[in-house]
Chains A and B, each alone.
Chain A
């Protein structure tokens, strides 16, 4: 179980991983995620599922190597086994015929959005896809998404390919009636910008939130977010929520809580790690 059968680099530091796990493959629906844990010392971290192959019993992930855990996962090769994968976790995305849906994927989340787009198309929607990244080198799955969708746009933060930033969405909203927006990105600011924009147009907007998680099953409350004034656990009440109701300041601040530890962990090599007295890094 959990043996990797395909491993590809899609862009610098962005890896595609397909591994065998019949149980997860059989049950997964778009919008759900897995929690991965590697080695006895590894942390538990969530990765959204980018698709499955039910015949082969495989699960597809796209991982951005941003720190220690994601690098460990990204370093595994074909034939190697991921120690622990739990899933599918979280609720499945709401998929039905909405009419015209604008699906926006940022960074690695272009993978999971492609999975939702395929389902939305099958449910009879017209899908406008927009994918984005910091710059043109980090754009992934361009051809795949274009082939899946009815209309296709690219945007980059620096304008090196496609539109610069997200303002182009205004032209779309002014030109045609969009019934729903679905946005996925690990970067909270992207989701927030879109939600604030669509609010002015009154378009229902679903965002997939990625707060820090621990167990991913609802037993710690680490992932709590405030939606419409109510506290929700993103791992089991979400991860998809109405973007117009999310308390963005809270989410952004909760995601920064370990930034000091993340930096520290990235700086140390293996020997230093062992020698480091744990109390030193706590303050």
Chain B
């Protein structure tokens, strides 16, 4: 196979920063066939692959890469889709550097195999070549006559619904918003994950697997979980995510031009406010924007701000770059696009102007002390370091927590003090009869692939229980 170890991965084409700053289109263009095969050939086909155990759904990574290296794309697609139903999404948004690629054998000496990029290439090829890849063809088993309600249409809901439909159950998926996809539709921007890809996954679920999709259904406000169960569902899966935004709890947080990252991203991704006034939903943009936080959500907010024409965009973070939870690729993209990282900085107040809007943000400098329970060094305030950051828009991106609507209306559903639902880690079973849960609603804000892994485990358990 690989004659000589190639230390560097095949680079992927990207839009140049000065160009992509001005459009909402996908930044990375993906490998060509030749590039993909070349990168696939770098994999040394380890007997004991380090990559597989570090993928939350344990994709047979050497397997699909070997097929690719041999030019057998249908074979590679088959292996990939056997464990991951949303590879076009995962290939683009997984934090590979802390998962599969982190433990790739090649990483010791050079670049790890670009597993995510290969996965993306395969998924895009399979979607665009439905006939040849055979991913559209499924033979559904004879119906079991059992019906399942899946609440939420994010990665968890989509995965659970697909697996249960393939097992022959009737699946109805309920979504609160007017469009399906969860965070992949409303949170992750077009420039990282084109919305057509999410739509294609949903179409497959509905048109091929026969899942019934019911939009605009806020379970708990409309029908409750108990009502759905007494209406005849045999089992129910909660994949409702953790979508409620958190704020800083500092003075001035309710001023105009302070947007939660969720609001900013929903306006832009779900409602397409960047096309206002052709689309009806507006959004504001400041000249100097501070995004507070350093996860994927913060990077997405900052990079949208750049694209809307903000002159200066800051990521304000109380620790250092080493502790940033955002994917490495997005941190680098953000920097290339001119986002300024204001590290070891903690906002203490947002200062109003006379229009009840943002005039500036007051901050203090931090330094790192002893490690805390997360193992990261705890940031502490440097005395007397107050300063004013000259910004006219603030976007808190401090993470999200579960929306309490379902917990409040389902009395016997056990939840933690963070509002997450208590469920068995290996089966997704909650303490409530006939109810399973998985994804961000159980773990708090996490990743697409971990939500899918949890949903798959729950679907397996639900299927076994339903057929028993």
A residues apposed to B, CB below 8 Å: 23-24, 27, 37, 41-44, 68-69, 83-89, 214-215, 217-222, 224-226, 231, 236, 249-250, 253-254, 256-258, 261-262, 264-265, 268, 273-274, 276, 278-279, 281-283
Contacts and interface: CB of A to CB of B under 8 A. Distances in A.
Nearest to A219: B243
Interface residues of B, number: 47
B356 interface: yes
Given A231-B254, A278-B274, 14 more contacts: A41-B272, A43-B280, A68-B280, A83-B178, A86-B176, A86-B177, A89-B221, A214-B266, A219-B262, A221-B263, A254-B256, A265-B277, A273-B277, A279-B308
B222 A24 contact: yes
Given A231-B253, A254-B256, A219 B279 contact: no
A257 B222 contact: no
Interface stretch (B41-49, B122-130, B212-220, B370-378): B212-220
Nearest to B403: A218
A283 B282 CA distance: 12
| Most chain B CB neighbours (cut-off 10 Å) among A37, A218, A250, A278 | A278
B285 interface: yes
A37 B254 CA distance: 26
Contacts of B357: 253
B245 interface: yes
Nearest to B223: A23
Given A214-B266, A217-B176, A220-B245, A278 B275 contact: yes
6 contacts: A27-B221, A41-B279, A43-B279, A214-B266, A221-B245, A257-B284
B280 A41 contact: yes
Interface of B: 176-178, 215-218, 221-223, 243-245, 247, 253-254, 256-257, 259-260, 262-263, 266-267, 271-272, 274-282, 284-285, 287, 308-309, 355-357, 400, 403-405
A215 B221 contact: no
A88 B271 contact: no
SS class of chain B's interface: helix, strand, loop or mixed?
A: loop
A259 B276 CA distance: 14
Contacts of A253: 256, 355-357
Given A86-B178, A221-B245, A282-B285, A250 B254 contact: yes
B222 A254 contact: no
A181 B301 CA distance: 43
A222 B263 CA distance: 6
Contact of A89 (B218, B245, B266, B356): B218
Contacts of B254: 224-226, 231, 250, 254
B271 A219 contact: no
Nearest to A257: B256
A43 B221 contact: no
A243 B280 CA distance: 31
Given A224-B254, A273-B278, A282-B308, A219 B403 contact: yes
Contacts of B282: 258, 261-262, 265
A23 to B, nearest CB: 5
Contact of A220 (B260, B274, B280, B356): B260
